[in-house]
Each structure stands twice: as structure tokens, then as C-alpha cells.
């Protein structure tokens, strides 16, 4: 069977898997703000998809799933141009699809899938048609402020290649991006270097991140440097340099770093193939260990609620904000309540998504107002994640 046909079959089941998982991820406070109040691109996208698929988790997240599946296809096509065999490109696409950072971006409301898409689309056009790829720049400029680092990466690449036209174009668009969106350097200088490293370890998974670091460094000192390396390396380097001074939004850099996946596969396979079969055992063992570790990370990412068993304070759970809203809404509906007042704006927007309006003679609080207030416990198994209290406003009687 041809590698691309295998990829299509894999992506079919991959898409179904993501859709099923998306149903278990409830709307978070940040996502509720985007969906209802922020007049951003993500706001219009999610409202449009919900109008098509209904006000549910699938409607909220289907766009990001579709875009990231497209991203895997794009990366595969790009990889066939820079790797020796189609099977190598297939392996690259598979590894890319299971990276924790990429997987999570498929299931949350975020800009990363769009950033990755336009970056890969640029690379696809650049490899096949060269200068026609620059027609994407005006779109990329307004998609997200993080494309400033892309334009900067391209500037360094064009300097390296002595491509005067690209130097001028990339510098112009970098300047425009900085002028339109700016760059935040406020706040007291503080070192977040280790924090940034930790986030990248979570995005790639620790063992793959170590190999990514090794790969980009080896290319820096020994190997041929192509446009993918410049985009990935410059983004990674600048995120580390900036983290020495301030806390950065790694989400602005990570999409560009992730597209360096083909570089890792190329390095690994080159090292593997220069050895005769009898000496490849260590590489096979290493690959197996890394693959298992990534799959374990993915399992904990997807079935993350089991982590509550090992966390003393539920609020410390990285996905805590995704576990409350729907269960709370369902509990209120069981009590016959479809409208309730709360002074937590984000929570009220989350409940609104599940058809609980923010008015009535009931009030929802996280502390007990009256002796007869009813407690609503949000649980995972027997573990209480949070307690809420439902009370009648100005009425101490039971209801």
C-alpha cells in the first residue's frame, strides 16, 4: 500500500478520535470569553462553526481539528521534498500528529492551527513555486501577531542565502507587524528560561525535545541549513533569549518550532542508515522508548482527569478549568434551574454556552450564604473538584 494511502486511512481514524475526545472537553473560562465577547478571528470562526454543528463541544472545536488534519497532510507533502523516501515523510507526519502540543492545539480554541497552516502553506508554495509564496504575507500579517517571528526568521534566512528581494520583503512585513501589534517588554526583568524549557518539554514531550535540541544544534554547527531550520531555530532561539528577561507567551513561538519535526526525523534516519543492520539495535531501542514516552504523555493529556488522584489541590490540575462548566450546568438543570445569577462573569458565560442564563431569583456562589442554601459538588469519581451553593436571593427559605 502506498504511503499516502496509509496516511489517508490513518487521518480518517485520527479525525474520528479527535472528534470523540472533543466531546469530553468542556468550554473553559478563556474560551467562553472568546466565543461570546472578544471580537477576534477566533470569535467569528467558533460562532460560525457552532451555527453549523450546534452549540456543543464538537461545534466549538471542529474547525481546529480540520485545520490540524490539513496541517498533517501539508507537512507530509513538504517532507517528501526534503526526505529520501515517502515512508520517511509518513513517519514524520505520524510523529508530528502525536506531539502533545500539536494534539492539544487540535482540541482547544487557539491560534496555533492557523499559524501552523499558513506557515506550512508558505513552505509548500515556496518549495514548489518560490516567489509566489510571498503573496501569503498580507494574510499572515493580520492573522496573528506571532507571524512577526516568522518574518524575522525569513529575514535571517534571506541574509544567509543573500536573497536581496526576500531580505526587503521580510523586513517590511516584520516592521509592519511590529508597528500594528507591537511587542510587550513591560514588567520587571525576571529570568523565565527554565520555565520556557519546561513548557517546550511538555509541548514536544521531554525525550523528543532533547532530540530536537540536539538536531537543531547539530545542523547549526555541521549540516546544511534550509528554510525550515531557520524558521524553527530562530523562533526557538528568540523565545529562549527573551525568556531571560521576561515571561513570554510560548504559544507565539511554539507553532514555528513544531514545524522543525522533519529535521529531527532526517537526523535520526541519517544516523540510523549509515550503520550496518547489526549496529542499529540501539537506535531501534531509543526510538521505541521515545515513542512509548510520547504515547504515555498523550494518554495523560487525553485522560487527564486521572491525575486528580495524585494532586492534593484540584485547582493545580493543568486542565481544571475544562472540567467544571458542563457538569455544573447539568447539576443546575437537574434542580430545575435554567437561569441563575452569578457575579463571576467568566462562569456565567460558560453556563450560558450550556443554556443557563444569568438572571433569576437564584444566585450561585462558592460560599454558603444561608443555612438552607443547596450545595452543588463538582466531582471526578469521589474527588470533589469544587463546591458551589445555590440560594434564593433575599430569601432564607428552602426551595
Calculate the CA 235 to chain-centre distance.
16
Q: Are 268 and 373 members of one domain?
A: no
Q: Which of 104, 81, 111, 77 is nearest to 93 (CA)?
A: 77
What percent of the chain stands above pLDDT 70? 97
Q: Phi then psi for 376, rounded to 5 degrees?
A: -120, 115
In a domain, 397, yes or no: no
Question: Is residue 364 very low, low, confident or very high in pLDDT (cuts 50, 70, 90)?
Answer: very high
Q: Is 30 exposed, middle or buried (0-12, 13-18, 19+ CB in 10 A)?
A: middle
Q: Rounded mean pLDDT of the chain? A: 92
In a domain, 310, yes or no: no
In a domain, 313, yes or no: no
pLDDT at 184: 60
| Cell of residue 72, nine digits | 498533517
Q: Are 335 and 291 members of one domain?
A: no
Q: Enumerate the H helices of 130-226 as residue ranges.
A: 137-143, 147-161, 164-181, 193-204, 206-221
In a domain, 30, yes or no: yes
pLDDT at 246: 82
Q: Are 229 and 345 members of one domain?
A: no
In a domain, 196, yes or no: yes
Q: Is the pLDDT of residue 56 over 60?
A: yes
Domains contained in the chain, number: 2
pLDDT at 181: 86
Question: Is residue 317 very low, low, confident or very high in pLDDT (cuts 50, 70, 90)?
Answer: very high
Q: Is the pLDDT of residue 397 over 60?
A: no
Host domain of residue 283: 3-302
In a domain, 189, yes or no: yes
- Look at the alpha carbons of 246, 252, 256, 257 in this order and tell me if their dihedral is positive or negative: positive
Please give the Cα distance from 293 to 277 (Å, whole number).
Answer: 25
Q: Phi then psi for 368, rounded to 5 degrees?
A: -80, 120
Q: Is the pLDDT of residue 232 over 90?
A: yes
**With contact defined as beta carbons under 8 Å apart, do 126 and 118 qualify?**
no
End position of a domain, from candidates 236, 271, 302: 302
* Residue matched to cell numbers 474527588: 383
Q: Are 216 and 178 members of one domain?
A: yes
| Cell of residue 124, nine digits | 509548500
Strands (E), 56-130: none
Q: Are 111 and 218 members of one domain?
A: yes
Average pLDDT score over residue span 210-229: 94
pLDDT at 13: 97
Q: Which of 43, 63, 42 is nearest to 52 (CA)?
A: 63
Q: Which of 306, 311, 355 is nearest to 330 (CA)?
A: 355
Q: Is the pLDDT of residue 396 over 60?
A: no
End position of a domain, from candidates 244, 273, 302: 302
Average pLDDT score over residue span 322-338: 95
Q: Are 165 and 243 members of one domain?
A: yes
Q: Are 196 and 281 members of one domain?
A: yes
Average pLDDT score over residue span 188-212: 88
Q: Which of 262, 152, 252 is nearest to 199 (CA)?
A: 252
pLDDT at 267: 93
pLDDT at 191: 76
**317 compared with 1, residue with greater pLDDT:** 317
In a domain, 308, yes or no: no
End position of a domain, from candidates 302, 333, 349: 302
CA-based R_g, the chain, Å? 24
In a domain, 131, yes or no: yes
pLDDT at 395: 58
Q: Which of 297, 272, 134 is nearest to 203 (CA)?
A: 297
State the pTM of this model. Answer: 0.94
Please give the Cα distance from 376 to 336 (Å, whole number).
Answer: 13
Q: Are 337 and 291 members of one domain?
A: no
Q: Are 218 and 354 members of one domain?
A: no
pLDDT digits (tens, 9 = 90+) for 74-131: 999 999 999 989 999 999 999 999 999 999 999 999 999 999 999 999 999 999 887 7
Q: Are 327 and 270 members of one domain?
A: no
pLDDT digits (tens, 9 = 90+) for 1-51: 899 999 999 999 999 999 999 999 999 999 999 999 998 999 999 999 999
Question: Is residue 359 very low, low, confident or very high in pLDDT (cuts 50, 70, 90)?
Answer: confident
Q: Which residues of 191-218 are buried (b: 16+ CB within 10 A; e: fewer)?
A: ebeeebeebbbbbbbebbbebbbebbee
Q: Looking at 188-192, 340-344, 382-386, which range is the least confident one?
A: 188-192
Q: Is the pLDDT of residue 234 over 80?
A: yes
Q: Are 361 and 294 members of one domain?
A: no
Q: Are 243 and 354 members of one domain?
A: no
Average pLDDT score over residue span 328-348: 94
Please give the Cα distance from 219 to 241 (Å, whole number).
Answer: 19
Average pLDDT score over residue span 322-351: 94
Amino acid at each position: 500500500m502506498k504511503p499516502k494511502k496509509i496516511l489517508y486511512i490513518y487521518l480518517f481514524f485520527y479525525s474520528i478520535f479527535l472528534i470523540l475526545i472533543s466531546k469530553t472537553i468542556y468550554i473553559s473560562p478563556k474560551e467562553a470569553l472568546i466565543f461570546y465577547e472578544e471580537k477576534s478571528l477566533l470569535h467569528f470562526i467558533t460562532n460560525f462553526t457552532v451555527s453549523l454543528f450546534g452549540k456543543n463541544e464538537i461545534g466549538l472545536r471542529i474547525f481546529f481539528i480540520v485545520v490540524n488534519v490539513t496541517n498533517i497532510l501539508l507537512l507530509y507533502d513538504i517532507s517528501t521534498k526534503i526526505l529520501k523516501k515517502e515512508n520517511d515523510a509518513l513517519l514524520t507526519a505520524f510523529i508530528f500528529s502525536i506531539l502533545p502540543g500539536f494534539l492539544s492545539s487540535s482540541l482547544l480554541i487557539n491560534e496555533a492551527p492557523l499559524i501552523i497552516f499558513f506557515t506550512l502553506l508558505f513552505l509548500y508554495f515556496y518549495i514548489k513555486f518560490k516567489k509566489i509564496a510571498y503573496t501569503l504575507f498580507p494574510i499572515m500579517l493580520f492573522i496573528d501577531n506571532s507571524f512577526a517571528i516568522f518574518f524575522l526568521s525569513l529575514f535571517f534566512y534571506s541574509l544567509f542565502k543573500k536573497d536581496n528581494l526576500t531580505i526587503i520583503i521580510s523586513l517590511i512585513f516584520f516592521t509592519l507587524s511590529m508597528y500594528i501589534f507591537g511587542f510587550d517588554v513591560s514588567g520587571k526583568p525576571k529570568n523565565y528560561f527554565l520555565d520556557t524549557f519546561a513548557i517546550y518539554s511538555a509541548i514536544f514531550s521531554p525525550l523528543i525535545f532533547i532530540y530536537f535540541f540536539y538536531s537543531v544544534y547539530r545542523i547549526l554547527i555541521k549540516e546544511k541549513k534550509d528554510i525550515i531550520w531557520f524558521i524553527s531555530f530562530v523562533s526557538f532561539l528568540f523565545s529562549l533569549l527573551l525568556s531571560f528577561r521576561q515571561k513570554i507567551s510560548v504559544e507565539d513561538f511554539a507553532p514555528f518550532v513544531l514545524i522543525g519535526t522533519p529535521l529531527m526525523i532526517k537526523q535520526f534516519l541519517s544516523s540510523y542508515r549509515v550503520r550496518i543492520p547489526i549496529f542499529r539495535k540501539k537506535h531501534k531501542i531509543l526510538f521505541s522508548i521515545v515513542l512509548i514516552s510520547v504515547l504515555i504523555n498523550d494518554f495523560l493529556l487525553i485522560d487527564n482527569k486521572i491525575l486528580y488522584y495524585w494532586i492534593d489541590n484540584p485547582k493545580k490540575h493543568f486542565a481544571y478549568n475544562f472540567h467544571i462548566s458542563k457538569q455544573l450546568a447539568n447539576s443546575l438543570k437537574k434542580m430545575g434551574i435554567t437561569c441563575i445569577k452569578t457575579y463571576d462573569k467568566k462562569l456565567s458565560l460558560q453556563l450560558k454556552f450550556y443554556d443557563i442564563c444569568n438572571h433569576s431569583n437564584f444566585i450561585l456562589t462558592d460560599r454558603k450564604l444561608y443555612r438552607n442554601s443547596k450545595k452543588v459538588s463538582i466531582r471526578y469519581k469521589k474527588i470533589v473538584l469544587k463546591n458551589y451553593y445555590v440560594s434564593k436571593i433575599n430569601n432564607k427559605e428552602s426551595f
